[in-house]
Chain A
Amino acid sequence: MTNLDKQITQTLKKVAGELEQPNFVMPYQVVAYKRKRSRLLGVGAVVLPVSISCALLLTISVSPTFAAYVKSLFNGSDKELQYAVQEGFSQKVNASVTDQGYTLEIEEILADPMRIVAVYSIKDQQKNFIHPDKLQISNVEVIDSKGNIIKETRIYGLQNRENYGYLTLKKPGETEEQQLVLQFEGNQIDSVKGNWALKVPFDLEKTTKASQVLPIDKTYTTPQGLQIKLNSIMHSPTAALVDYETKWTEEAKKRLVEESKQMKGKVDSADPYVRYDDFKLNFHVENENGEEVNDLTRALDTPRKALGEYGHSNRQYGFAPLSPDHQYTLVLDSLVKTEPYELGVSFEPKQLADKPVRVDKDGKTIEIKSVTLDEPLNEASPKTEKHVTILLEAYVKDISYINIGDTILIDDAHKITNRFGWTIKDEAGKVYDVTGGDFKMIGKDEQGRNHIRMKLQSSDMKELPQKLSLTSELAEKSYELDWKVPLPMPKEDK
């Protein structure tokens, strides 16, 4: 192995090594997963008795380091952290270690039940700041007073600015301990090897007190038979998180089994896999003026936990902390799932200029706009030749996506084919592989149907057949929902 090979291996191992493995359901497993509730997220967990609103009334001096940091770093992008700092939730640390003439210092820590952020700097002997990316971090761990490593904090992020580095660790939620220790070690600064190890105690007491888990306990069953149970909301200084469960009704399960029979062989899944888990819920949170709150689900990176078979799972929706000056509502906007949905059109490509093709059937409209020879849309297609490209537009209610085709690699045959999308067939019944394409949502038409534009390309079609038929049998359907639930807010301390 060359040096570069070693570096590639090392880089991949480093990235992958930080990942915490999620739960998986064994295919034969019934409800083997018992719900693991963290102290802070469980329904009926003890409500922690301090309010965010109380903290708002106090004038707390804002740490200058963090204030400068939030100003430069979170200018409009992470107001949540800025809010928490302004409310005085950061802890001044000033722990430092010097080796080989370099001093590593952790200046401040902001820690709440959602995340921990530590600010550090490196200085040389003349007290000049060294860019924080010159530090090679060899270990980051958060431990409790007994020395147990808090598992959730194994994933961390770094943002480096001119003088300060910002280390973010996620979800210290599953510990009872309020007093924790951040272990932060580096073994190289620039090209100088050394040992810079810091153990920095910090506590979650203040932010935990300013955090509350409040039960919501509201259940709604969508017309499609997905039962959604909102368990609780957690308010913390840097974020809010709604914890919920999803489950299909018995009737819906039967329907999904029936759907899976219709979808057999048409989707990229093993027969007769029933896609209980193949749906997405879209939420938003708004205040009484209809102003939406920032979505933080991705930033908080909360893994879905399977509670059993049939799509029974525990999920979270994360968003910015809520202001006590407003009232907020969680709105469930839509349920998106793939279903059998037939679309089809036949036409004569060479006659297209004279005979425009438009098919209206069952409230669906398809138009063939053009058949041209174009550059390949798929980078795997041969680039030396032009490819027959069919441009079509569809007007379809509630359809948010139609698959163009998935690439399948055939066993031992060294052959790549495309399936599970559109089928292109000529007058003799010859099927052409869809080798490329794209999909665009244009908007809505006057009937409220989604206007979709698609390109289907086949490098197999060397000349235009007399007649072509296009068919598609599945689509991703977005069901609009409008379930609104007022979100409980923390109460002020008496």
Chain B
Amino acid sequence: MKQNHHFPIPKEGGSVDFETLVQPHLTSAFRVAYLIVHDYHLAQDAVQEALWEAYQSLYRYDERKGTSFRAWFMKIVTHRALNVVRRKKNTEEYMDSIDPGQNPLESILQREKEQQIWQAIQLMTPKHRSAVILYYYEEFSVAEIAKILGVFEGTVKSRLHKARKLIAENMQIKQEKQVITEMGVIMHD
């Protein structure tokens, strides 16, 4: 370890512990950030910032509170990614040089339905999108997502419900919409 670094050593756990803790979640952290941000470099920035923050705040993480390290770290990553989206939005408002070129990843989704789903997810507000990604991609429970996003469980449910509705509408499946209205969102927990 470097002798003269600018970062305080976490109260509990040294650097090796930190890497051991964080490494298994890096791939999924980057993917979650990308799914929220839709930009490779900005997602990279979000996760890098999250790493710094997690390292700084590691002493605050207490397993005994019942939160897994994955959920704790993903909370930081999600917030970083959401902030990047906000910064990106602000920048794009006054920059007309942004290249609106199609994201190549959009095109890998061959089936019409998948393309419609992905398009709908991209068009959602970041708060709905992050709920969808944490729920469907990371398979966190509603309670865990509520903790991660800092909102009530009911809010998560309502965001997921609205997100599903938006997806269904985008897919133009009238029957599907009726099913959603009747059934609501089926939750993991």
Contacts and interface: CB of A to CB of B under 8 A. Distances in A.
Interface string B6-48: 1101000001001100100011001110110000110011011
A270 B56 contact: yes
B179 interface: yes
Given A8-B132, A27-B52, A28-B55, A16 B186 contact: no
Given A21-B27, A270-B57, A157 B105 contact: yes
A13 B138 CA distance: 9
Nearest to B147: A412
Contacts of A274: 6
Interface in A8-36: 8-16, 18-19, 21-22, 24-28, 30
B90 A4 contact: no
- Chain A interface size range: 35 or more
Nearest to B117: A11
A155 B101 CA distance: 16
A194 interface: no
Given A9-B136, A16-B31, A24-B51, A137 B107 contact: no
Which residue, A277, A404, A407, has most C-beta atoms of chain B within 10 A? A407
Contacts of B44: 22, 24, 303-304
Contacts of B15: 26-28
A46 interface: no
Given A2-B183, A4-B164, A21-B27, A133 B51 contact: no
Contact of B114 (A10, A408, A413, A439): A10
A5 B53 contact: no
B179 A2 contact: yes
B70 interface: no
A16 to B, nearest CB: 4
Given A157-B105, A270-B56, A27 B18 contact: yes
**Consensus secondary structure, chain B interface:** helix
Contacts of B117: 7-8, 11
A299 B104 CA distance: 9
Nearest to A299: B101
A16 B137 contact: yes
A380 B127 contact: yes
Interface of A: 1-2, 4-5, 7-16, 18-19, 21-22, 24-28, 30, 133, 135-137, 155-160, 168, 170, 257, 268-274, 277, 295, 298-299, 301, 303-304, 306, 309, 379-380, 401, 403-404, 406-416, 438-441
15 contacts: A12-B133, A16-B34, A19-B30, A24-B47, A26-B15, A26-B22, A27-B7, A27-B51, A27-B52, A30-B5, A157-B105, A158-B110, A159-B102, A272-B6, A413-B150
